[in-house]
Each structure stands twice: as C-alpha cells, then as structure tokens.
C-alpha cells in the first residue's frame, strides 16, 4: 500500500472529530479536499474506512484497525522529532499526560516546576476517571498517566512517586468530630457521599469495606472530590477523599478529618506508561523530574 502521511493525518482527524466538516476546519482544508483524501485512502486500502449513516459517520472495523496504526505512526514521528532535537541539544517537544481527576489538586504544582526547568516543552493535559485512564493507556494516547492503582492485566510499567492517603471527612460540628477515635461500627451508621462507579477512590473504599466485612453505608454518588467536599460541608453525610484535596478546607476550618479506626486507606500515586512505548527525551525528563522532586514539592497536609 502507498498511503501518505497526509492521508493518515486527515483520516485520524476525521475519525476523532466524526465529521468531515469539523476535520476540514481543524486542518484548514476544504471539505471536498478532505473527502478526496479519504476516498483515495479507501481505494488504496481496498476497504471503506467509515460507515455513513445520514449525516453521521462511524469507523468500520477496518477503520478502527487503521486508526490504531495511524496513532502509532503519529507518536513515532513525534518521538523521532524529539530525539533529533535532543541530539542537537534542544530541550523542546511535546508531552501528553492524562491524570486522575484527584491528581488535579497537585499536578499543576509539579508541572510549574517542570516548566521552569524546560520552558520550551509544550504540555497537553487531560483529566479522566479510572475508566478514562485505562482507555488512554489501551489506546496509547498518552506518554504517561498519573493514577492510583495501576491495572494488572496490561503490559505497563508503574512507578510510585508519592503516598495518597484516603481519609474520612466531616463538617466541624458533626457529632463525631470531637471524638479521639471513631470505630468502623459508628461510621457504618452514617450517610456517606461516594465517588461514581469507575473512580479509583470508589474502588479503594469498596475494597476496604470488603476486607473488613462491612456493608456499604447508605450513600449519595458524586462525580468529583470537589462535589463530595461541598456535600459534606452542607451536612449531607461523611465523605472519603484524598488528603491532597483538603488544603483549603482544612486551612479555613470548613472540614475536619476524623480519626477513624484503620484509616487512612493508604494508596499511592504512580507514573504509569506502556512497556512497548518508546521513552522520548521529553518523557524521560518529566519522569526523572517527578521521581526526584514530588516528595519535596507535594508533602500532604497533616490531618
């Protein structure tokens, strides 16, 4: 097959946008030019890349397969460019990161320090729950992922760079807030605000309950740590959140951390990346910076 890089770029953009019109605008091309390139690509492959259903388009099986290869080629070209720049002594390039939503409370501080050392590196940052993190690793769309517990069923490398204690929080006037120690039996009687299914925090709490043979307390579901903290402040129940999310609330005395039996649930933050992905100079620079500096930059507040 004689497929050009331009055709692959156009195909990848159309697939991601699911629209010829939106892809044309992003690529600064006319829609007929985009359609022509896709048609030539399909003729070269000998199979359609898209199913057209009215005005909507969807990838065919062949299209999904080619998209994986197109993304891989795109990544390899970026890595080749960065390697050549590194050989010329140029510290620049792109870094694609995907992080757990809870990591949003400390990652900007890490990135600020990294960017001071490497001011010419461009960073693309996405935020996702656990399902989205796994998809980024599976689809190979991120250089590295910042997450809690790495999956065991994928060919990944994972390195711990910081502890991530999960604690129970309550409003300052809650009846349990003045107790020196709170038992699990007392906690089990309370209403809880929990993260949504697919969240790493939710999974950690459910593993904790199963280990201690406790039923999950009556609860409300929220899709972010920020929403949980607001709900706890409003008196809707207790919450379990990462201690890294509590700096402002603890300083302003809007929440307190309860001293609950067998808490905190000790988790860890990991840098996770695919074993089959080439480590570009930029990726290595970020990897080394995080492992060397995270502990000093991101010491969690004390409960």
Reported as a single tens digit per residue, the pLDDT across 163-200 is 889 999 999 999 999 899 999 988 888 889 988 887 88
Same domain? 187 vs 229 = yes
Q: Which helix (H) or strand (E) holds 127?
A: strand 121-128
Same domain? 207 vs 115 = no
Average pLDDT score over the chain: 88
Torsion angle, CA of 181/184/185/186, rounded to 10 degrees? 50
Query: CA 6 from chain center: how many Å?
Result: 30
Handedness of CA 78, 79, 85, 91 (dihedral sign): positive
Domain-located, residue 172: yes
Q: Confirm whether pTM is higher than 0.75.
A: no
Tokens 């906690």 identify what position? 187
pLDDT of residue 98: 95
pLDDT of residue 86: 65
Domain-located, residue 225: yes
State the residue range of the domain holding 124.
91-162+268-297
Nearest by Cα to 185 from 217, 207, 218: 217
pLDDT of residue 126: 93
pLDDT of residue 147: 92
Same domain? 201 vs 158 = no
Domain tally, the chain: 3
> Using an 8 Å Cβ cutoff, are 45 and 62 in contact?
yes
Nearest by Cα to 63 from 48, 46, 75: 48
Mean pLDDT split into 10-residue runs, the chain, 303 residues:
89 92 92 92 92 87 92 85 65 85 88 89 90 90 91 91 92 92 89 86 88 80 91 93 90 93 92 86 89 75 57
Handedness of CA 112, 117, 123, 129 (dihedral sign): negative
pLDDT of residue 47: 92
């Amino acid at each position: 097959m004689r497929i050009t890089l331009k055709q692959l770029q156009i195909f990848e953009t159309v697939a991601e946008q699911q629209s010829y019109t939106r892809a044309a605008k992003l690529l600064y091309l006319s829609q007929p030019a985009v359609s022509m390139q896709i048609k030539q690509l399909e003729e070269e492959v000998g199979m359609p890349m898209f199913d057209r259903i009215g005005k909507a388009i969807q990838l065919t099986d062949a299209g999904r397969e080619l998209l994986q290869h197109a993304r891989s080629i795109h990544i390899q070209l970026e890595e080749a460019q960065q390697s050549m720049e590194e050989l010329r002594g140029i510290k620049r390039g792109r870094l694609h990161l995907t992080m757990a939503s809870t990591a949003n409370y400390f990652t900007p501080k890490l990135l600020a320090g990294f960017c001071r050392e490497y001011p010419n590196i461009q960073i693309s940052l996405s935020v996702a729950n656990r399902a989205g993190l796994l998809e980024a690793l599976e689809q190979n769309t991120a250089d590295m992922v910042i997450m809690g517990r790495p999956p065991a069923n994928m060919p990944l490398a994972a390195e711990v760079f910081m502890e991530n204690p999960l604690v129970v929080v309550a409003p300052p006037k809650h009846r349990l807030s003045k107790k020196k120690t709170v038992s699990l039996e007392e906690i089990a009687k309370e209403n809880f605000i929990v993260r949504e299914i697919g969240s790493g925090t939710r999974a950690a709490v459910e593993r904790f309950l199963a280990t201690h043979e406790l039923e999950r307390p009556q609860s409300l579901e929220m899709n972010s740590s920020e929403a949980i903290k607001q709900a706890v402040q409003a008196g809707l129940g207790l919450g379990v959140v990462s201690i890294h999310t509590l700096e402002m609330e603890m300083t302003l005395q809007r929440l307190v951390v309860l001293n609950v039996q067998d808490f905190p649930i000790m988790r860890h933050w990991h840098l996770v990346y695919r074993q089959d992905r080439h480590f570009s100079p930029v990726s290595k620079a970020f990897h080394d910076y995080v492992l060397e500096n995270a502990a000093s930059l991101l010491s969690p507040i004390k409960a």
